[in-house]
Amino acid sequence: MRILFKRSLLSCLFLLAGCASLRQVNFPPSEEVFITTGDGDITKPYKPVGHLIYTKRGFRLGFLPLIGLIPISDASAENAINEIIAKEARAMGGDAVINLDIKWTPPSDGILGLGANGGAVFIQGTVIKR
């Protein structure tokens, strides 16, 4: 009985142990649209064109075992910046996005698909014309 208790306690410690991950978000080339999280090397004066706000919440079936591992609609910060933010900035008539603020919760697989989620991304920034 004592061995069973120790093994179950050890198993719980492994399952509940935290882990860290490093994710990298690549920006598009500066020749297309200059994107920076600060003011960057933008020469003043510049003309503010508008403000962009983008939000997406990913979706996974986290209540079904193993099915939750399938990425149905994950929220990706890199795809949002490269495809949507850059495209919308050009459509607004701007050639740069400054003061970009990214809040991103990456997708997680849960435990064998249980409790999996598609993550969430919230991005905002100021579109300017240099």
Which tens digits make up the pLDDT trace of 21-49?
677 778 888 778 888 888 766 667 888 89
> What is the domain partition of the chain in residue ranges?
27-129
Distances in Å between the Cα of 45 and the Cα atoms of 73, 118, 128, 129 are 40, 41, 10, 10
Whether residue 95 is predicted with pLDDT greater than 70 in this model: the reply is: yes
Q: Which amino acid, 27?
A: F
Identify the pLDDT of residue 23: 72
Q: How far apart are CA 1 and CA 99, in angstroms?
A: 60
Q: If pLDDT is split at 50, 70 and 90, which confidence band does 54 have?
A: very high
Identify the pLDDT of residue 3: 82
Whether residue 63 is predicted with pLDDT greater than 90 in this model: the reply is: no
Tell me the pLDDT of the chain averaged across its residues: 84
Identify the pLDDT of residue 40: 63
CB neighbours of residue 94 within 10 Å: 24
Q: How far apart are CA 93 and CA 47, in angstroms?
A: 11
Tracing tokens 């849960």 back to the chain, one arrives at 110
Q: Write out the E strands in 58-119.
A: 96-105
Burial of 78 (0-12, 13-18, 19+ CB in 10 A): middle
Q: Which fold has domain 27-129?
A: Translation Initiation Factor IF3 (3.30.110)
Q: How far apart are CA 90 and CA 31, in angstroms?
A: 12
